[in-house]
Structure 1
């Protein structure tokens, strides 16, 4: 089978399971480091002709990361496209099984079970998190971009992970999933923590926390916060450590 992945997290999921399936991946696909598949452009601007020349049996995509027009063009060219939708952890786990088992015809990989077990140990997002993570319901803002400032809003995968770790996103009930919020409003939102991932915007100690007037800043791995794949197995420990470091 020949698979082209237009989603970095799905690339890692396939490569960690059976790396020989991947015929093409995006320029943003960085894990695992041993990837040798052909590069076919970005997630938002794939080279459609290059993908079709690879004659894939299946193209993996995501409704949020990839443009409908590109997926329609691939289908028009004869490619079968499997489109995932991920708005929370439970959906991520089920979509990964759909991609790997139903789409690629593979046995359910052991890393997927380890990921499910790692998060099950914390309980659902609505319950009190494990005391080893962070104090329950610490209010936080979670920027994902600046110039303009954009934050996590409602119904996001990253927001669900943070909720399971004890973080209460103050914009979780916003009508938009990734609202643009003026900085003065962010500063006055009542947060006791700002969570700063290193992707899609690369926040650093010198680029981001200075905007929040001394609010504790948790610098977190964007891969562990926003990717759904093998990184999910270690994400509770990695993210939890970053959150605890900011709060203590």
Structure 2
């Protein structure tokens, strides 16, 4: 089998890979939901879903720093990476060990394409199709739910010290748009550093649970800047994890809209 991954690398497979290392938490969860738990031999310390994998699989580092010796010792057939999560150096180093598949996700279509491609690579086409269809059905239902909602001006914070937000060309920004949340930082690329300042036009400030674990105390801190805005803690996994996590995301978004205080 021959195919191109999402950054255009041409990959060749004589058979379905039997020993998989995943360097992307959301893609690890997808592998599990595709029935590939037994084939997973290595994961990152951030691969927390399902939570038992961290005890049963070899941890080979994080998403930005890896232990190549541990990866090599596991003798993988394939290593799964992501353009945003993993560095170019990591991809190149892993490519010297075995085949590396790199995903590149900016929107739902990219997610569905990745899931479909995993189905082809690992001979799990039927399960992949079920996941794709579930996401599509839940998205369609959510689009119907959201169509009459008022558009809100939103800032989505991912980090503190320095403060960083989600900008354009990110999966988070795409999901904000689906929620009719107009990202006030959509003119800035990727994940810019910003200095909070009083902005009475912002309706809603979302503080993500990851990668920085925002807490209630940070709501009070940011109220000094966003005096008119509704400030909410949100589940960052629902806004940034792609793959099978999207099956749950749209029900969460409904709940969020219903519980904006």
TM-score normalised over the length of structure 1: 0.89
- Superposition CA RMSD, Å: 1.8
Q: Partners of 1:116 and 1:86 in 2: how far apart?
A: 16
Following superposition, the deviation at residue 112 of structure 1 comes to: 3.0
Name the residue aligned to 2:142: 122
Following superposition, the deviation at residue 209 of structure 1 comes to: 4.5
1:72 lines up with 2:89 in the alignment: no
Residue aligned with 2:218, SS: coil
Following superposition, the deviation at residue 189 of structure 1 comes to: 6.8
Q: Which runs of 5 or more residues in structure 2 are unaligned?
A: 1-17
Residue aligned with 2:214, SS: coil
Which residue among 58, 65, 79 is the counterpart of 1:45?
65
Which residue among 55, 58, 62 is the counterpart of 2:75?
55
Q: Quick check: 1:118–1:236 contact (8 Å CA) kept in 2? A: yes
- Flag the 1:57–1:209 CA change in 2: closer, same or farther, 3 A: farther
Q: Quick check: 2:206–2:231 contact (8 Å CA) kept in 1? A: yes
Residue aligned with 2:86, SS: coil
Residue aligned with 1:183, SS: coil
Aligned residue pairs, count: 236
Which digits, 9 at most, give the CA deviation of each residue in 1:182-203, with x for residues without a partner? 112xx32721100111001111
TM-score normalised over the length of structure 2: 0.84
Which residue among 94, 101, 107 is the counterpart of 2:113?
94
Residue aligned with 2:201, SS: coil
5 Å-filtered alignment, 1:1-248, equals 1-18=18-35, 19-35=37-53, 36-77=56-97, 79-98=98-117, 100-109=118-127, 110-123=130-143, 129-131=146-148, 135-174=149-188, 176-184=189-197, 187-188=198-199, 190-213=201-224, 214=227, 215-246=229-260, 248=261
